[in-house]
């Protein structure tokens, strides 16, 4: 018979004291990988604008300001809901812009300005940052939501831009709502056109009234797949003549999106945005100059544009969900939700508070 020596028992006892705590670790599960996965979930972000210009509290009643903040908030919510549910950046841009096109507060579709012939002519464009495909239209008079037509041109035709009757003939082949031009007419826009004609010193010069607000609507979005998109829609310039086309339907001027850099939608005096190729210039400064989105957007809006004599602003968004919304006028209707979820709705310059309307 073999006996266990005391030293062997001691060794077993020591091993037991080590093993018992280790076995007890099974009562507490190791850190879940799901928590780290949720923290690394791809970001989403959205920014919108409703025009820039001489916009100040002194020129706006409390009710008017509340109406604009509510409209911006609702458009932001419409686009962000798409992103939050896993939708594409293109869908989010379209949803946000349609909401503003249907609101007579903004110079796009339902609330668009009049030409010198007292009718409404609409421009719009959209761009996919993943493929750099784009669609645009100008001089459309009967399509209720031009941004939807712009997207249809992008996806269903080999072309980028269509104009006037040709664009509307193309729309006939798709499920796009058509309306009479009178649908877009509002009394305040007609009155503005009449004032513009009375105060303009020449047929090709901006009147003092029109220079007060340079209206357009736009949106830029980043979805969970990392794709950027941008879109812009406008009625153009009050009392415009000779088939004038602004920057809004021009890819690279009023609208641009590229996953490698940023998405941009512009608002302002379009002639200068076209001459400066503003939207693409911001992307180019990032891609070739190594600038951040914020630095690139600020340089274009606060340095390059004023040097040319141009006024207005942009909304822009990069692949990390950073938002930049610089403008060189006294105000710009704008709202955003960045990658961190911070939500702002603002109108005037130097607004520090996140003034959102629930």
| CB 116 within 8 Å of CB 197 | yes
DSSP alpha helices (H): ranges in 162-206? 164-171, 187-199
Tokens of 19: 């093993």
User: 244 a known binding residue?
Assistant: yes
**Residue 266, Ramachandran bin (φ over 0: left; ψ between -120 and 50: alpha; else beta):** beta
User: 246 a known binding residue?
Assistant: yes
216 is catalytic: yes
User: 160 a known binding residue?
Assistant: no
User: 173 a known binding residue?
Assistant: no
User: 268 a known binding residue?
Assistant: yes
The residues, ordered by sequence, that sit 6+ positions from 324 with a Cβ below 8 Å of its Cβ are 293, 294, 297, 298, 314, 315, 316, 317
Report the DSSP beta bridge partners of residue 257: 263
Which residue in 216, 232, 238, 322 is the catalytic one? 216
Q: Which is nearest to 142 in space by CA: 114, 110, 180?
A: 180
Q: Which is nearest to 178 in space by CA: 163, 168, 166?
A: 168
- Rounded distance between C-alpha atoms, residue 104 and residue 125, angstroms: 20
Report the DSSP beta bridge partners of residue 264: 256, 316
User: 27 a known binding residue?
Assistant: no
Each residue of 315-343: b (16+ CB within 10 Å) or e?
Answer: bbbbbebbbbbbbbbbbbbbbbbbbeeeb
Report the DSSP beta bridge partners of residue 52: 214, 332
User: 349 a known binding residue?
Assistant: no
Longest dimension (CA), the chain: 122
User: 236 a known binding residue?
Assistant: no
Q: What is the DSSP string of 122-138?
A: EEEEEEETTT--EEEEE
DSSP type of residue 248: T
Four-residue CA torsion sign, 143, 168, 217, 113:
negative
Residue stretches of the annotated binding site:
244-247, 267-270
Catalytic residues: 216
Residue stretches of the annotated binding site for substrate:
244-247, 267-270
């Amino acid at each position: 018979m073999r006996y266990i020596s005391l030293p062997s028992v001691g060794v077993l006892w020591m091993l037991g004291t080590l093993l018992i705590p280790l076995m007890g670790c099974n009562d507490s599960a190791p850190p879940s990988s799901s928590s780290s996965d949720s923290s690394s979930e791809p970001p989403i972000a959205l920014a919108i604008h409703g025009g820039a210009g001489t916009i100040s509290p002194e020129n706006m009643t409390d009710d008017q300001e509340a109406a604009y903040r509510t409209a911006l908030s609702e458009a932001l919510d419409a686009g962000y809901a798409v992103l939050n549910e896993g939708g594409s950046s293109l869908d989010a841009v379209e949803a946000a812009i349609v909401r503003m096109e249907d609101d007579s507060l903004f110079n796009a579709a339902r609330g668009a300005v009049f030409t010198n012939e007292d009718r409404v002519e609409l421009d719009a464009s959209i761009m996919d940052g993943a493929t750099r495909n784009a669609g645009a239209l100008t001089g459309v008079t009967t399509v209720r939501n031009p941004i939807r037509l712009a997207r249809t041109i992008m996806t269903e035709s080999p072309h980028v831009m269509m104009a006037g009757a040709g664009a509307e003939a193309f729309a006939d082949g798709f499920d796009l709502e058509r309306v009479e031009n009178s649908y877009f007419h509002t009394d305040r826009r007609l009155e503005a056109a009449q004032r513009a004609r009375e105060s303009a010193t020449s047929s090709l010069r901006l009147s003092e009234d029109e220079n007060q607000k340079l209206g357009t609507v736009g949106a830029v979005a980043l979805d969970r797949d990392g794709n950027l998109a941008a879109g812009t829609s406008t009625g153009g310039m009050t009392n415009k003549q000779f088939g004038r086309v602004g920057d809004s339907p021009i890819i690279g001027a009023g609208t641009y999106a590229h996953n490698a850099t940023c998405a941009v939608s512009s608002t302002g005096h379009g002639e200068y945005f076209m001459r400066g190729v503003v939207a693409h210039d911001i992307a180019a400064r990032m891609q070739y100059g190594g600038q951040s989105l914020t630095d690139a957007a600020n340089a274009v809006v606060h340095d390059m544009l004023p040097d040319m004599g141009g006024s207005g602003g942009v909304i822009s968004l990069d692949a990390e969900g950073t938002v930049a919304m610089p403008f060189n006028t006294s105000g710009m209707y704008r709202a955003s939700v960045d990658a961190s979820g911070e939500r702002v709705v603002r109108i005037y310059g130097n607004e520090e508070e996140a003034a959102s309307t629930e």
